[in-house]
């Protein structure tokens, strides 16, 4: 099992995801989006499972500050240029991916 949690240290949902795996003593790699965004390849791999429309966080402060609700834009391009627009946490286990806090799905991965 190769768990990767992508998010930010301040995100409550990301913190809950980290706690979920720590409580079960499952090693994971944490990727802080404030330090390093996703590469084009990583974003493409994630988008094979979850469409771009579900990856962009339309409720986040950053989205609203930029006035994106009133703009037409290429979602992939925006996510690559500003990874803080991603919904977090993104949890990867090989080719399996979830967005948001989804312990039910993660429990199935562990079974």
* pLDDT over threshold 90, residue 1: no
Q: Please count the CA atoms within 13 angstroms of the CA of 3 that sit on its side-chain side.
A: 20
* pLDDT over threshold 90, residue 3: yes
The pLDDT assigned to 101 comes to 97
What's the whole-model pTM score? 0.93
**68: Cβ contacts below 8 Å, ≥ 6 apart:** 58, 78, 85
- The 10s digit of each residue's pLDDT in 72-107 is 999 999 999 999 999 999 999 999 999 999 999 999
Yes or no: say if 7 and 39 are a contact pair by the CB < 8 Å rule.
no
Strands 3-7 and 28-32: parallel
Mean pLDDT of 31-59: 95
């Amino acid at each position: 099992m190769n768990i990767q949690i992508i998010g930010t240290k301040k995100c409550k949902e990301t913190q809950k995801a980290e706690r979920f795996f720590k409580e079960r003593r499952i090693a994971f790699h944490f990727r802080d989006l404030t330090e390093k965004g996703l590469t084009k390849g990583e974003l493409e791999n994630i988008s094979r499972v979850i469409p771009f429309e579900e990856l962009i966080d339309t409720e986040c402060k950053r989205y609203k500050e930029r006035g994106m609700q009133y703009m037409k834009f290429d979602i992939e391009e925006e996510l690559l240029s500003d990874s803080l627009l991603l919904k977090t946490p993104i949890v990867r286990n090989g080719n399996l991916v979830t967005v948001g806090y989804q312990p039910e799905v993660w429990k199935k991965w562990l079974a």
